[in-house]
Amino acid sequence: MEYQIDNHLVKLEKGTSVKEIVTGAASKLRVDLSEWLVLGDLNCDHQSDAVVILTTNMGGTGVFYYLVPVIRQQDKTVALESILLGDRISMVALDIQDGQINVVYLDREIGDSMTSSPSIEIQRRFTLSNNTLSML
């Protein structure tokens, strides 16, 4: 399946993609499908859709978490635009209820060092309208 992460189109094979960002450069964009995947109807078409969490890394210490809705369109499965949740967060929960995506994760206080452990619980809800995620 192909996913749009920021301005990069990546195709995962066995849950991973490693792609050169700049030809010949040492750092590469690595995208991984995490274990966070839930099923449910996101667009009220009575078909099972999904929400996945992808992680990205460009060779540094950052591990960026993206929320991606994956919907059924006719007979195809399509990954929609991703939303960045954060860098080096800790996922707690992900579910779909009544067509809404609920995500809970731990993050840091504004100003905290990225070396400190995430400890602030963040709860975010999203809805899908015209194939675009909006935060509630």
Position 8 scores a pLDDT of: 84
3-class state of residue 97 by DSSP: strand
Position 20 scores a pLDDT of: 83
Q: How far is CA 77 from CA 73, 89, 106, in A?
A: 6, 28, 30
114-126 mean pLDDT: 94
Question: What does the mean pLDDT of the chain come to?
Answer: 92
**How far apart, in whole angstroms, are the C-alpha atoms of residue 16 and residue 55?**
10
Q: What is the pLDDT of residues 74-103, one digit of tens each?
A: 889 999 999 999 999 999 999 999 999 999
Model confidence at 121: pLDDT above 80:
yes
**How far apart, in whole angstroms, are the C-alpha atoms of residue 134 and residue 80?**
12
Going by pLDDT thresholds of 50, 70 and 90, the confidence category of residue 44 is confident
How many independent structural domains does the chain possess? 1
CB 54 within 8 A of CB 5: yes
Higher pLDDT, 14 or 25: 14
- Taking the complete model, does pTM exceed 0.85, yes or no? yes
Q: Which domain holds residue 68?
A: 2-135
Task: Enter the tokens of residue 131.
Answer: 């194939």
Among 28-37, 53-62, 120-129, the least confident range: 53-62
Position 27 scores a pLDDT of: 82
Task: Enter the tokens of residue 98.
Answer: 């009544």
